[in-house]
Structure 1
Amino acid sequence: MPRPSDLCTVHRVEPLTDQQIRSSFVNCTKGEAGRLKLPLDFAELPWQDLDFLGWVDPGAPLRAHLVVPREDGPLGISLRVPGASRTSAVKSSLCQVCLTGHASSGVTLLAAPLAGARGREGNTVGIYICADLACSLYVRGKRQPKLRAGRQEESLTAEGRIERMTANLDAFLAKVTAG
């Protein structure tokens, strides 16, 4: 299990194989990792624009997965998606990873079981994140959030937004993998 100091930022995900993805998970069993479904558009993913791979499992829509590149290989975590809830189309929410503002339905709370024994005891950590897990595309301007009005433009460069996003994601991963 990596220490928080090992969670160094490495930009952009290199194309990964099915086996690399499944063997990267630190907070689920090998059986659970073996049963997860890859994204439906896996063959067409825009790898050059991804700082991490994130998707809601098409075979288990209350499960989501993140795979983040690391110097010693990809780090995968499994997350729980809350059940359907009613949200207001008038209110807005902010992703804690990429800081993109969305209509409230565009951000969801995901809960990650902690890695190791603490996770097996039921301990989790949560984060509000873009519901489509496309943070990398939002910070690059490749995808636009569905937001009513009052959207604030940022003065940070795309590289600055990417650095901030990966730092926020690293902080979350450190909580999941802390031993």
Structure 2
Amino acid sequence: MTEQQVRRSFINCSRGEAAGLTLPRGFASLAWDDIELLGWRDAKAPLRGYLVVQEEGRPVGISLRAADTRMSSRTPAMCLLCQTARSGDAVSLFTARRMGEAGRNGNTVGTYICADLRCAERARTEIPPWLRDRDPEEVAEERVADLRERVHGFLDAVRHS
């Protein structure tokens, strides 16, 4: 996938905003066949983040904004995309402007996501204790499928007001 394809994939921001976003380090060497979800924080705008997923063979991206406050590290929290239990400071509330007129009117949708947006990696590698007696590859595939379903649900919420 090219830089231009990714920049054009964003459904909830202007072309100018998409042109100005900072792509993740190592973008040119990403193995797209192995990526269910590409998530990253903008190095030049710390409260901005991005998610890009393949949908029907093409990329679809959404621009996110992290809450400017964080939960305490002593507070347990869960990412609602990868369903990984983390400390509160490792999970952030992210909001995404809705598409179209609703978004132009300031309408947003939000969810709690891993603060570093590396959910796809965690879905494959961080197996919850209650699933550790099962085949790790099978569990990882199930977690990735569940992640994909929840990401598409979030995309649908961004698309529809």
> 1:7 aligns to what?
none
Q: Which has the higher strand share?
A: 2
> 1:174 aligns to what?
156
Runs of 4+ in 1 over 6 A off after TM superposition: none
Separation (CA, whole Å) in 2 of partners of 1:86 and 1:74: 30
CA gap of 1:122–1:33, structure 2 versus 1, over 3 A, is same
Q: Which has the higher helix share?
A: 2
SS of residue in 1 equivalent to 2:141: helix
Q: Which amino acid aligns with 2:103?
A: G
**Contact 2:70 / 2:92 at 8 angstroms: preserved in 1?**
no
> 2:107 aligns to what?
123
> 2:46 aligns to what?
61
SS of residue in 1 equivalent to 2:18: helix
Separation (CA, whole Å) in 1 of partners of 2:72 and 2:45: 25
SS of residue in 2 equivalent to 1:68: strand
Unaligned runs of 5+ in 2: none
Give identity over the alignment, percent: 43
**Contact 1:49 / 1:137 at 8 angstroms: preserved in 2?**
no
String of CA shifts for 1:4-40, please: whole Å, max 9, x gaps. xxxxxxxxxxxx2110011001111111011111012
Separation (CA, whole Å) in 2 of partners of 1:23 and 1:43: 16
Q: Tell me, yes or no, if structure 1 residue 157 matches structure 2 residue 157.
A: no
**Contact 1:22 / 1:33 at 8 angstroms: preserved in 2?**
yes
> Residue 153 of structure 1: CA displacement?
3.4
Q: Which amino acid aligns with 1:78?
A: S
> Residue 88 of structure 1: CA displacement?
2.2
SS of residue in 2 equivalent to 1:77: strand
SS of residue in 1 equivalent to 2:45: coil
How does 1:106-121 map onto structure 2 within 5 Å?
106-121=90-105
CA gap of 1:88–1:123, structure 2 versus 1, over 3 A, is same
Q: TM-score, normalised by structure 2?
A: 0.88
> Residue 178 of structure 1: CA displacement?
1.4
Q: Which amino acid aligns with 2:130?
A: E
Separation (CA, whole Å) in 2 of partners of 1:41 and 1:159: 25
> 1:38 aligns to what?
23
Separation (CA, whole Å) in 2 of partners of 1:31 and 1:86: 29
**CA RMSD in angstroms, aligned pairs only:** 1.9
**Contact 1:49 / 1:136 at 8 angstroms: preserved in 2?**
no
Separation (CA, whole Å) in 1 of partners of 2:160 and 2:77: 28
Q: TM-score, normalised by structure 1?
A: 0.80
SS of residue in 2 equivalent to 1:136: helix
Higher RCO structure, 1 or 2 (CA under 8 Å, sep 6+): 1
